[in-house]
């Protein structure tokens, strides 16, 4: 695959979407023009844009660019060498533009993790059929070179595990909850006020954003088609301040992790809150930072950390792909040809084995603990430790925190369902997996 014009000639961009990242890219290309030209071997310039509002001040002069109300026009513009898709979303205009650009043999650079996670296999096949690059470094972990690390830096190794902290909004919320003792709703409102969370934060806090990124990383790591629907997804809405403080007392921190690993029975991929030992490197990654962790048969375990979102980091990742295109060195979409992607079985979450943290709110009366431990015993779950906190006031229910030995997920889920049905349990149990990553 090659990008287009001859070396020395400007690489001309058509940018769809001039929001935070699109404007950030324009500013980056302006401010670092000399450095980028030296590293790319030619200038990289924006010649056309597609955006709804032509009057908005984006901090950079785009008056010389051709403007399109319909982004699809970029796919057929003869003065555009590369289409940069920054619209977002798995369907609609973003998908139409990327498909049209590839069909017209225009290389595409995108930051759209939803599009790549849901349609990555088909887009990869189209890219390969048209001998036209599709690059997406900015789709995973912002300024962290996650895609290049997995696809190129670890190309010679057989990867066993991939994942990490893949959403900065959730990491910020859990960090602030731990440090201040405030509850989820209060910290979420603060994150929205600071611009770390969207007005509708569901994609972030319900784990969907991290699942998109994990699906992409798992496909690269294990050489299989993208299977977003196979990722088990949980968010952080249910995590309370008590869970953060209890985790600390037990020697853990709570992080929303995306984890995928290759086993003899298939690939297990999930996004969920996890207790991780407070001494582990991933536990030290706080605030809006992300961390990508890979483990290979030869390289062992490595972790790269940095800002996972925002104008600067994401624009930098887009520009890195553009420099590869300008130099005529784009990598294949998935690291191997479409024919070599193997449809490996997805291992369901019910088959996972590991330890758990379980928080219950129970009536303060004799026999309650015996009833609960009897259910755990019947479901094959062995307890490691138990802590019962005092009631806030006389007659109130009390928090009961249980930590299990490693056990089968299906058995733990069954036990939790049975325990929740006990009349002495007043709230929905909080179940969190424990990981040693």
The distance of Cα 191 from the centroid of its chain, to the nearest Å, equals 18
- Read off the DSSP letter of residue 143: T
State both tokens at 115: 């599009």
Dihedral angle sign, alpha carbons of residues 108, 312, 219, 157: positive
Place of tokens 């190309």: 155
Beta partners for residue 272, in sequence order? 257
If DSSP codes are grouped into helix, strand and coil, which group holds residue 303?
strand
The CA-to-CA distance between both ends of the chain, in Å, stands at 37
Beta strands in 309-352 (DSSP E): none
3-state secondary structure of 221: helix
**Nearest C-alpha neighbor of 338 from the set 225, 244, 209:** 225
Rounded to an integer, what distance in angstroms lies between the CA atom of residue 49 and that of residue 47? 7
Strands annotated E in 131-206:
134-135, 159-165
- What lies within 8 Å, CB to CB, of 401 at 6+ separation is 246, 357, 358, 359, 360, 386, 387, 388, 389
- Among 21, 70, 20, 30, smallest CA distance to 48 is for 70
| Residue 328: closest CA among 178, 185, 135, 69 | 135
Measured distance CA(45)–CA(28) in Å, rounded: 11
The SS3 of residue 152 is helix
The set of catalytic residues is: 213
Burial of residue 223 (number of CB atoms within 10 Å: 0-12, 13-18, 19+): middle
Q: What is the pairing mode between strands 266-277 and 430-434?
A: parallel
Nearest to 414 by CA among 352, 336, 350: 350
Sheet of strand 82-85, all strands in order from the earlier edge strand to the far edge: 66-68, 44-50, 11-16, 82-85, 108-110, 134-135
């Amino acid at each position: 695959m090659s990008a287009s014009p001859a070396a020395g000639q400007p690489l001309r961009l058509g940018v769809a979407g001039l929001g935070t990242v699109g404007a950030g890219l324009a500013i980056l290309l302006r401010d670092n023009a000399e450095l980028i030209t030296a590293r790319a071997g030619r200038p990289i310039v924006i010649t056309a844009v597609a955006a709804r509002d032509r009057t908005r001040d984006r901090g950079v002069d785009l008056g010389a660019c051709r403007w399109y109300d319909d982004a699809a026009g970029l796919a057929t513009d003869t003065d555009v060498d590369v289409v940069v898709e920054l619209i977002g979303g798995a369907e609609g205009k973003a998908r139409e533009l990327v498909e049209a650009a590839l069909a017209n043999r225009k290389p595409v650079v995108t930051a759209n993790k939803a599009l790549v996670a849901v349609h990555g296999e088909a887009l990869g096949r189209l890219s390969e059929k048209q001998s036209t690059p599709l690059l997406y470094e900015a789709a995973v972990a912002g300024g962290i070179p996650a895609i290049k690390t997995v696809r190129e830096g670890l190309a010679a190794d057989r990867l066993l595990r991939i994942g990490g902290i893949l959403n900065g909004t959730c990491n910020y919320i859990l960090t602030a909850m731990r440090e201040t003792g405030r509850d989820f709703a209060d910290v979420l409102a603060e994150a929205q006020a600071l611009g770390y969370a969207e007005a509708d934060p569901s994609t972030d806090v319900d784990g969907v954003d991290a699942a998109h990124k994990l699906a992409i990383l798992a496909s690269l790591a294990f050489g299989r088609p993208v299977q977003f629907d196979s990722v088990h997804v949980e968010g952080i809405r249910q995590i309370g301040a008590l869970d953060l403080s209890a985790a600390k007392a037990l020697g853990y921190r709570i992080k929303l992790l995306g984890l995928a690993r290759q086993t003899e029975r298939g690939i297990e991929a999930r996004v969920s809150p996890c207790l991780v030992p407070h001494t582990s490197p991933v536990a030290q990654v706080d605030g809006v930072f992300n961390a990508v962790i890979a483990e290979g048969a030869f390289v062992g375990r490595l972790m790269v950390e940095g800002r996972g979102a925002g104008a600067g980091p994401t624009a930098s990742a887009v520009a890195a792909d553009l420099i590869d295109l300008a130099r005529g060195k784009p990598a294949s979409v998935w690291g191997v040809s479409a024919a070599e992607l193997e449809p490996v079985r997805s291992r369901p979450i019910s088959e996972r084995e590991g330890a758990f943290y379980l928080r219950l709110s129970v009536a303060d009366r004799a026999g309650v603990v015996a009833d609960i431990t009897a259910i755990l015993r019947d479901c094959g779950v062995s307890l490691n430790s138990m802590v019962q906190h005092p009631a806030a006031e006389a007659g109130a229910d009390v928090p009961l925190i249980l930590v299990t030995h490693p056990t089968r997920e299906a058995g733990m889920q069954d036990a939790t369902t049975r325990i929740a049905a006990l009349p002495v349990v007043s709230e929905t149990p909080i179940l969190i997996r424990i990981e040693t990553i």
